[in-house]
Structure 1
Amino acid sequence: MYSMRMFLLFCVLCLMSSTGYSQLPGPPGPKGDPVNDGQHGAAGQLGPAGSPGRPRIPGLSGPAGPPGSAIFCGRGVSGQELETLKNSLAKLELVVNYDFVRRVGQKYFVSYKKRESFSRAVEFCSQRGLELALPQNEEENNILSQFFGDVYKTAWINVNTNKAEGNFEADMKNRPLTFTKWGEGQPDKSIQYTGCTMLSENAFWRVTQECFLNAYIICQM
């Protein structure tokens, strides 16, 4: 029996030897070299831009909201204050457009340097929401005299033309004058009915019956 086993073992070894390989695992081989990934290529060029999309169609407008209150200097403005502001802006616009502008205190004197009759002068100022100029003190009176040019040296002032209504001592709204600067012999006592008052180059006032004369129109606001 033992002999038989040895014989079979011998046959197996011979067969393995004749085929040139062994069925038993061999020892592990050496570690291989690391793999090189290679260099990265350069970035490609940008492609052409695509065509623009279709324009957007605007939506419908929403309903109007309720009116808000006016804001001025960080606070609400009352109706009266808003009206005062509007009047101030309107006056400022007029001031910018005139050829002659002088400010004395809170009053402005303005003019286009036009010369017309007294009635046209009153109408001219009234159509613009203004009044014909009327000095209220010496400073205002002297300011108006700065208006005169080299040739024409008179301007109409807002004094009542009817002697019976205060002897030329009231304005066109029949308010008593608080300041006057009549020249010598003025107002002219020989004038019985109508007379118009001029400011002359020496800053004195005088009344004339010739209200049709052309004198400068100066308005005030």
Structure 2
Amino acid sequence: TNNLISMRDLTKEEIMLFMETAAKIEKGELNPNMERKLAALMFYEPSTRTHFSFATAMKKLGGQTITMRGTQNSSVQKGESFADTLQTLAQYADIIVLRTGIEGSARYAAEVVDIPVVNAGDGANQHPTQALLDLYSIIKTQGTLENLNIGVAGDLRFGRTVHSLVYSLSEFNPKFKFISPSFLQMPSYIKDDLVSQNIEFEELQEIDQKIEELDVLYVTRVQRERF
């Protein structure tokens, strides 16, 4: 597939290809050419870093962007459906980068348009491009993604970056420590997946518990907008 919807869709080999490609670009050994390519940035939710990261990357590689931020100045205000908006922008662009507050919206988008869709965050579900960036940071600091002790602290219930990171690291034989208050614990469906893969994890409520055992501590904010 040419879509990037969930880290669950990527194999270990595909994840490592992303890491190797990023390293080559950073070293100047690879220079992708996006000339005459246009990305539609459809952001139904507020964003600073993700929106400007995509816009900057596209333009530095020679491409262009068109942007929809919120719905105030769009035909959504006149009753246009989500599918119609997607299909309209797909006529202009070569790729859609989509952020919404609705879980599953990115996968739905990929089904109704015939150009690639990148999930830039769908509610409390997934944020795969952030996970890829986090993996690249980990491999640069630790030298590997294999066999690491990973602490994940904060809002594990609604934190989509955390969900994507856990799914992606699950390919590399990790040991997890999930650190959060009880009402913000990692969702059961993710823990069930880890159990089915025989991946070790432990749930804690204090960040200083066993912190000395960690190779990486990943901290996320409370997602107040999801309450």
TM-score bracket for this pair, using the shorter chain length: under 0.3
Higher relative helix content:
2
Q: What is the TM-score of this pair, normalised by structure 1?
A: 0.24
So what's the TM-score if we normalise by structure 2? 0.23
Q: Which has the higher strand share?
A: 2
